[in-house]
Homo-oligomer: A and B are copies of this chain.
Amino acid sequence: MAQLQRITISPQQIRDNQVVLEKEQLHYLTRVLRLSDGDKFIVMDGVGKWWLTSLQSEYGEILEALEVQTELKVSISLLLALPKGNGFDDVVRICTELGVDTIVPIISERTLLNPSSQKLERWRRIAAEAAEQSERAFVPTIYEPVSFTQGLNLFEAEQKYICEGRGDNPHLLKCWRQVGEGQLKIVIAIGPEGGWSQEELENAVNAGFKMVSLGRRILRAVTAPFVVLSILAAEMENNS
């Protein structure tokens, strides 16, 4: 079952043994993921249930319920400003190991680099390899790079944070604990070397993002995602 693509549906979409796919979901499966009839994918209801499913024209046929042990209870999406050089390879690899759901590469004011399509393919290949190595149930989605403004509005999520090393911001872990259990999705934006610009921070706050700290040391942009994923995963999984 490992390394199949997957989508999140609402529990109401399941009727008998079929998943009634919404138009957008069908588009995503057939056009973005390029699945054909009979191809398998994973359907998640966002509250811990997973099914192996086969695409049958406009609906999904449920093949079996899946036992998932290696995925986080809460979906973590990262908006990551693209670093210079090849640092993003390691970011994709390690974030995948640490349980990320979605990575959105961001072209920010301080990272003008617009990566080639080969790079995107490379990142997706790295994510697939890392998902297999770390025995995850699915491969994280790596988006095509978008502008910061586009990134801010990509997700509807209960909790959205933007990391900012300077200033007197509350710790991400403190904010997360105040919200408590029962969240389904969290979106976190992490800036480029040199940090977000003042304008970017203001736009994020206006878009519903809360400014948070990751601790007292100044982290490089490529290190911050590991910290975010490590502390949230430990918070979810330390009962074992």
Query: Which residue in chain B gives the minimum CB-CB distance to A134?
Result: B217
B240, A171: Cβ atoms under 8 Å? Answer: yes
Q: Which of B97, B174, B227 contacts A230 (CB 8 A)?
A: B227
Q: Is A9 an interface residue (CB 8 A)?
A: no
B218, A234: Cβ atoms under 8 Å? Answer: no
Chain B residue contacts of A240, Cβ below 8 A: 168, 170-171, 174, 213, 216
CB-CB contacts below 8 Å: A195-240 with B: 213-220, 223, 226-227, 230-231, 233-235, 237-240
Q: Is A69 an interface residue (CB 8 A)?
A: yes
Q: Is A36 an interface residue (CB 8 A)?
A: no
A97, B173: Cβ atoms under 8 Å? Answer: no
A134, B98: Cβ atoms under 8 Å? Answer: no
- Whether A223 touches B69, Cβ cut-off 8 Å, given contacts A173-B234, A213-B240, A231-B231, is no
Q: Is A133 an interface residue (CB 8 A)?
A: yes
Binary B-proximity of A154-176 (CB < 8 A = 1, otherwise 0): 00000000000000101111100
Q: Is A191 an interface residue (CB 8 A)?
A: no
Chain B residue contacts of A177, Cβ below 8 A: 238
Chain B residue contacts of A134, Cβ below 8 A: 217-220
| Complex CA–CA separation, A135 to B90 (angstroms) | 23
Chain B residue contacts of A213, Cβ below 8 A: 240
Query: Which residue in chain B gives the minimum CB-CB distance to A220?
Result: B97
Q: Is A57 an interface residue (CB 8 A)?
A: no
Chain B residue contacts of A227, Cβ below 8 A: 98, 226, 230, 233-234
| Complex CA–CA separation, A133 to B218 (angstroms) | 7
- Whether A217 touches B70, Cβ cut-off 8 Å, given contacts A90-B90, A227-B230, A231-B230, is yes
Chain B residue contacts of A214, Cβ below 8 A: 234
A selection of 8 A-B contacts at a CB cut-off of 8 Å is A97-B218, A98-B223, A135-B217, A173-B234, A215-B237, A223-B226, A230-B230, A234-B234
Given contacts A135-B217, A226-B226, 19 further A-B pairs with CB under 8 A are: A90-B90, A97-B217, A97-B219, A97-B220, A97-B223, A134-B217, A134-B219, A168-B240, A171-B239, A172-B234, A173-B234, A173-B235, A215-B233, A216-B240, A226-B227, A227-B230, A230-B231, A230-B234, A231-B234
